[in-house]
């Protein structure tokens, strides 16, 4: 009987500390992925399936007939279309205070954004970069399109 309680306690501790510890380090999660979508992390190319964590410094890339939807921890929604390359350059969010900041680089393709808690609380803490401009967030929904190869 004691052994069964130990096993149950160990399982409960693993469930309560495992995924939440990982989620605390992640910027967000892939919610939708269609076609060839990958996450490039530390020089490795990983498939971006639904449920994949997206971390700071990750490059999210879509193929010619692909699209991806990522929900960041502050509920910002990022939707990238075909032939897109998006880099999560900076992301920090405190769920208790709602404080945070983010910087997203759109190197190529299209990105539709529905801003989350960070932009609503402190819009000056959010920016999006393209090869030719820096965009501050003052609205709640917008689209960015970058033409040409931005694979630098």
Query: Measuring CA to CA, which residue among 16, 10, 41 is closest to residue 26?
Result: 41
Distance CA 106, CA 81 (A): 11
Residue 126 included in any domain: yes
Confidence of residue 15 (pLDDT cuts 50, 70, 90): very low
The model carries a pTM of 0.80
9 located within any domain = no
For residue 53, CA distances in Å to 8, 24, 26, 40, 70 come to 27, 11, 6, 12, 9
Closest CA to 69 of 86, 90, 92: 86
Instruction: Look at the chain and report how many structural domains it folds into.
Output: 1
The whole-number pLDDT of residue 134 equals 81
The answer to whether residue 13 is domain-embedded is: no
Residue 11 domain-assigned (yes or no): no
Helices (DSSP H) in the chain: which residue ranges? 2-25, 117-121
Tens digits of residue pLDDT in 16-57: 333 434 444 699 999 999 999 999 999 999 999 999 999 999
pLDDT in tens, 86-138: 999 999 999 999 999 999 999 999 999 999 999 999 999 999 999 988 877 76
Residue 127 lies in a domain: yes
Range of the domain at 63: 27-146
């Amino acid at each position: 009987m004691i052994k069964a309680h130990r096993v149950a306690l160990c399982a409960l501790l693993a469930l309560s500390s495992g995924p939440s510890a990982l989620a605390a380090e992640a910027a967000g999660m892939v919610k939708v992925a269609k076609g060839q979508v990958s996450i490039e992390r530390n020089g490795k190319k990983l498939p971006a399936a639904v449920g994949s964590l997206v971390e700071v410094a990750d490059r999210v890339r879509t193929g010619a007939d692909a699209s991806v939807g990522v929900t960041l921890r502050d509920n910002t929604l990022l939707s990238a279309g075909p032939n897109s390359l998006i880099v999560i350059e900076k992301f920090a969010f405190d769920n208790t205070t709602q404080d945070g900041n983010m910087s997203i680089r759109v190197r190529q393709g299209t990105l539709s954004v529905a801003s989350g808690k960070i932009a609503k609380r402190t819009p000056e803490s959010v920016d999006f970069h393209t090869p030719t401009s820096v965009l501050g967030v003052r609205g709640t929904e917008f689209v960015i399109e970058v033409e040409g190869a931005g694979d630098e």
